[in-house]
Amino acid sequence: MRHTSAHARHEPVQYENHIGGRNVPPAGGKYLDTEDPTFGRVWARVPASTAEDVDRAVEAAKKAFPGWAALKPSQRGRLLYKLADIIEANAERLAEIEVRDNGKLYAEMHAQMCYIAEWYRYYGGMADKIEGVVIPTDKSNIFNFTRNEPLGVIGMITPWNSPLLLLTWKLAPALAAGNVAVIKPSEFTSVSTLEFLPLFTQAGFPPGVVNAVTGFGKDAGASLVDHPDVVKIAFTGSDLSGQKIYEGAARHIKHVTLELGGKSPNIVFDDANMEAAVNGVISGIFAASGQTCIAGSRLLLQRSIHDAFMEKLLAVAASARIGNPMERETNVGPVATRPQCAKVLDYIDVARQEGATCVLGGGRYAGEGATSDLFVSPTIFTGVNNAMRIAREEVFGPVLAVIPFEDEEQAYAIANDTAFGLGAGLWTSDMRRAIEGSARIEAGTVWVNTYRALSYTSPFGGYKRSGIGREGGMEAIKEYLQTKSVWICTDPAVDNPFLMR
């Protein structure tokens, strides 16, 4: 369903759930409005799904699972390869939808749409390389080997900041491993997922292998977590939401993968390439308006270069062009949702109340380029200490907290003094410091002299409250498999049946 004509008329487009390869209206007949944050107006309506809709989707997936799991792995791989080609052909359209849904830059969304095709190719190539092992046990006359088998119906709950990219991190390995899926996207950004799923039918996937229901987390999301036929939940979102999902999954002993929040330190030492580090800090916090789980929201800056670095940083940050994310010249777009915008502004007020000094931005942006009231100026606070809320809690917006340090020991102590551990940056020209620092920092990803580099070939995930499990690389497909150990006795004679063999 294309959106361009509706955009011209300013009339919302109505979407339906995608279940069993078909568009299915919500059982309760209710819909949610989806707002375009760039212009602050409703542009689409998506189903407000309930437990009944989740039941339908899970039933469709459960019905499709035996046939999908029984396909030759190479057949699943070929379908994933075909899907990748179709995604590339639709990249421009999907990118435009994501921009309308969440206000991120079109240039980044288009790059993401092209890049997610590589995820499906990577795991398509891995589908027929899932192997067991023969184990040389200490038992005589027994042959022991392992099989890696799919789990079944996977519930996937995705966030609003990069809907299709973060869905792909889950869906590509899950499908390659032989699982089926029911997706619950964020209620704020469901349209791209509903537009995406028909591409699976176009690629030749059997009906029911991939399904989507939209709606609120407390309704559709909770029903998916609680459903007895869903064997695993893969979730990306805040740590508090992840905790609730973890608790719900535990009641049914479900598998989980949780990619949660972060308060990532971006550490700049006095021997760093200052220009590269400034650009890395800007990328870490102001790209995507700071709405990334890996945002380098804490700048740990060695005191000896503090003033010189801040001068350069402020000059670059102040030059950022704010405006329509569809325009190539724009650097910073709107905050994706009204609740998130209010949260970011609240944290800015909190930082001031705690005594931090605002040296850039500090509130809603209403200048040239602002097309709605959902723009927040890139904001930098100095005079921050690591005990402040602005340094401890995830803001998820374009707000940077600058914390000075004296030496390596203090830098690593501050970096690790957090409940989170998703990502970290380290800027230095000292190879010893790069190697030692990457070992001492408690985070699932450490970037040295770069930031926000990700690939389908490399695992991604968090320490501490930043999550459980890994997405990306060979490790991700293991998250969607269960190991079976098989014992075959070549000599069934038993001397004493009352003793363990």
Q: Does the pLDDT at position 241 exceed 90?
A: yes
CB neighbours of residue 218 within 10 Å: 10
Q: Give CA–CA dist 51/55, Å, rounded.
A: 6
Percent residues over pLDDT 90 in the chain: 95
Looking at residue 492, the DSSP 8-state letter turns out to be -
Contact of 163 with 195, CB cutoff 8 Å: no
pLDDT above 60 (res 168): yes
pTM, two decimals, is 0.95
For residue 157, pLDDT over 90 is answered with yes
- SS3 letters across 26-65: CCCCCEEEEEECCCCEEEEEEECCCHHHHHHHHHHHHHHH
Per-residue pLDDT reduced to its tens digit, 437-453: 999 999 999 999 999 99
Residue 317's CB is within 10 A of a number of other CB atoms, namely: 24
Cβ burial, residue 123 (10 Å; 0-12/13-18/19+): buried
Task: Look at residue 299 in the predicted model and tell me its pLDDT.
Answer: 98
Chain centroid to CA 458:
14
Measure the CA–CA gap between 301 and 131, rounded to whole angstroms: 47
Contact 413, 390 (CB under 8 A): no
CA atoms within 13 A on the CB side of 172: 32
Q: β-strand 379-382 against 357-360: which pairing, if any?
A: antiparallel
Q: For residues 459 and 417, is the Cβ–Cβ distance under 8 A? A: no
* Rounded percentage of the chain residues whose pLDDT exceeds 70: 98
> Secondary structure of 463-501 in the HEC alphabet?
CHHHEECCECHHHHHHCCEEEEEEEEECCCCCCCCCCCC
**Which pLDDT score is estimated for 494?**
80
Average pLDDT over residues 295-302: 98
pLDDT above 80 (res 3): no
Question: Sorting pLDDT into bands at 50, 70 and 90, what band is 7?
Answer: very low
Output the average pLDDT for the chain: 96
Please provide residue 28's backbone torsions phi and psi, each rounded to the nearest 5 degrees. -85, -5
Catalytic residues: 259, 293
Give CA 76 to chain center in angstroms. Answer: 24
- The amino acid that residue 197 corresponds to is L
Residue 342 to residue 335: CA distance in whole angstroms: 10
DSSP-assigned states of every residue in 284-304 = HHHGGGG-STT---EEEEEGG
Helix (H) or strand (E) holding 236: strand 232-236
Q: Which of 119, 59, 34, 110 is nearest to 457 (CA)?
A: 119
